[in-house]
Amino acid sequence: MSEPPAYIGFEEYSEHIPASIPAAVQQATSRFVSGRAARVAELPEWEQLRQAGSEIRLHTIENMDVYLAQLEEKILSAGGHVHWAQTAEDANRIVLQIAKEHNVKTAVKSKSMATEEIGLNHFLEKENIQIIETDLGEYIIQLAGTGPSHIIVPAVHLKKEEIAAIFSEKLDMNAPADPIELARIAREILREKFLTAEMGISGGNFLVAETGTLVMVTNEGNGRMCTTMPELHVAVVGIDKIIPDWESLTVFLKLLARSATGQKLSTYTQFITGPRHEEGEFGPKEFHLILLDNGRSNILQDPIGREVFKCIRCGACANVCPVYKNVGGFAYGWFISGPIGAILSPQMLGIKTARELPYASTLCGACADVCPVKIPIPTILRHLRRRVAEGDAISLPTIPVPIRAAAGLSSLALAHNWIYRFGALILPTLMSIFKRNGWIPSAPYPLSRWTKSRPLPPFTSHFRRWWKTARPTQGKDSTR
């Protein structure tokens, strides 16, 4: 049984990064980066599209209540059901209730970040409902009993040999390390599940308010099977996926596939407006949409942080991120990784819980350069760092008092020359007590946070002496 997604903390995880993850991740992300660049170069209007995408998203964020109400009305008039879930628990409970009403024993699920977010698999398994992931990557990690390590390629960290070993062990067979053969095995098993499952579960890439349409963008066809083969379709979608109309959708469809996988368009783009309307028509008899809040309304109150909801989950920011490429997705501690995880998780889980994530970045800005909807990721990271350090109206600062005091003192010293000079005079003498073989291997708190992982060079006042003696012709001594 897979575990629900509990945040594990960047610092703790970073001590246990498996050696094979960076190589596998770097290989895959490089392919996506070059594919994206080629597709973007084909579109002279790319920057205008990004601007349009950004503006539509901002407009929708500011008018989310209006568009959500319109969406609900359209879905109801198309014969669907709409449920509002305030929390992850509410969403799980609603899915369970629907499943029980229909005597569901097995559900097939297409890839969905919202259901990862609420830990739906774990919840339903505890209630004796078998839930089968049908996206190949998700199926692999479900068998492996882990979570996704990339937004769009959840098993990106695994090599074909490792996948073959997982299949062999979990499916009790001798699976070859051949991608085509592995896909064939999965397809054969899953086809049977599609035909017998009583319920299909999906997420959604967009919700079009104008017509009440759920839009799903996939490459494997499993999404279509999940949402049309069983008689019952339940979609769990975050309220942030709302867009105003079909004209907006054309912009996002152009941006999404190019940014995600370097395709012009994904292989399957599905539009679902309610259940099937007549006997003989294709599709489920019943359609339920669960609109998930789970903290999103709170984030909407923050004018800087809420830009995170412009995200269309393409994963391009992770593919170019030097931190992600070196530590892999699991290091971000929750189901969503990369730069988008670094700005979303602290806001959803609370600054105190995920306080390391805003620092899991070099602030190089590569993520913002590729983001198709122009999310100012470095700006949001700095904003969240400030919230971590100084607190805000919602939460107290999470940095321990001695560290904040030390930072305050440093700030004073750098602002007032006489304090700086006094410190430079006494610190080398004070710290020499801890010197061993020319280094400080272990210092008192709060400096011990540094020396825990590496020694400190000794404090000296050499710089001031050097400035005065070695550079006498470079102008006035500005440290005076």
Q: Which two tokens stand for residue 345?
A: 């998780």
Q: Which stretch binds ligand SF4 (CB under 6 A): 225-233, 274-282, 368-376, 422-430?
A: 368-376
Footprint of ligand SF4 on residues 369-398 (CB under 6 A)? Answer: 370-373, 375
Alpha carbons 353 and 365: distance in angstroms, whole number: 25
- β pairing state of 199-202 and 213-218: unpaired
At 332, the amino acid letter reads: Y
At 248, the amino acid letter reads: S
Nearer Cβ to ligand SF4 (182/377): 377
Nearer Cβ to ligand SF4 (240/286): 240
Nearer Cβ to ligand SF4 (151/164): 151
Q: What is the rounded end-to-end Cα distance, in angstroms, of the chain? A: 66
Alpha carbons 231 and 161: distance in angstroms, whole number: 37
Residue of 223, 213, 231 whose CA lies nearest to 283: 231
The b-or-e profile of 261-277 (16+ CB within 10 A means b, else e) is bbbeebeebbebbbbbe
Which of 216, 316, 357, 399 binds ligand SF4 (CB under 6 A)? It is 316
Note whether 313 binds ligand SF4 by CB under 6 A.
yes
Nearer Cβ to ligand SF4 (199/242): 242
Nearer Cβ to ligand SF4 (229/314): 314
Min dist CB 151 to ligand SF4, Å, is 6
Q: Which two tokens stand for residue 470?
A: 């070695």
Note whether 153 binds ligand SF4 by CB under 6 A.
no
Alpha carbons 134 and 156: distance in angstroms, whole number: 16
Nearer Cβ to ligand SF4 (212/339): 339
Footprint of ligand SF4 on residues 122-151 (CB under 6 A)? Answer: 151
Burial of 81 (0-12, 13-18, 19+ CB in 10 A): middle
Nearer Cβ to ligand SF4 (315/328): 315
Note whether 243 binds ligand SF4 by CB under 6 A.
no
Note whether 311 binds ligand SF4 by CB under 6 A.
yes
Nearer Cβ to ligand SF4 (107/308): 308
- DSSP single-letter state for residue 127: T
At 328, the amino acid letter reads: G
Note whether 113 binds ligand SF4 by CB under 6 A.
no
Note whether 182 binds ligand SF4 by CB under 6 A.
no
Min dist CB 38 to ligand SF4, Å, is 17
Q: Which stretch binds ligand SF4 (CB under 6 A): 125-133, 173-181, 314-322, 404-412?
A: 314-322
Q: Which stretch binds ligand SF4 (CB under 6 A): 69-77, 132-140, 312-320, 346-354?
A: 312-320
- DSSP single-letter state for residue 205: S
Handedness of CA 400, 405, 408, 414 (dihedral sign): negative
Note whether 312 binds ligand SF4 by CB under 6 A.
yes
Note whether 314 binds ligand SF4 by CB under 6 A.
yes
Nearer Cβ to ligand SF4 (114/399): 114
Residue of 53, 58, 343 whose CA lies nearest to 67: 58
Q: Which two tokens stand for residue 256?
A: 């999404």
Return the bridge partners of 287, or none: 233
Min dist CB 376 to ligand SF4, Å, is 10
Which of 197, 215, 317, 381 binds ligand SF4 (CB under 6 A)? It is 317
Nearer Cβ to ligand SF4 (2/347): 347
Q: Which stretch binds ligand SF4 (CB under 6 A): 129-137, 211-219, 276-284, 307-315?
A: 307-315
Residue of 259, 252, 401, 239 whose CA lies nearest to 316: 259
Footprint of ligand SF4 on residues 244-283 (CB under 6 A)? Answer: 259
Q: Which two tokens stand for residue 2?
A: 């897979």
Footprint of ligand SF4 on residues 406-445 (CB under 6 A)? Answer: none
Min dist CB 373 to ligand SF4, Å, is 5
Return the bridge partners of 215, or none: 206, 271
Q: Which stretch binds ligand SF4 (CB under 6 A): 209-217, 366-374, 423-431, 472-480?
A: 366-374
Phi and psi (nearest 5°) for 182? -65, -40
Which of 340, 342, 380, 440 binds ligand SF4 (CB under 6 A)? It is 340
Phi and psi (nearest 5°) for 382? -65, -40
Distances (CA, A) of 120 to 96, 133, 145, 235: 9, 11, 14, 12
Q: How many residues bind ligand SF4 (CB under 6 A)?
A: 15
Nearer Cβ to ligand SF4 (10/252): 252
Torsion of CA 27, 30, 31, 36, to 10 degrees: 160
Nearer Cβ to ligand SF4 (38/183): 38
Binding site for ligand SF4 (CB under 6 A): 151, 259, 311-317, 340, 370-373, 375
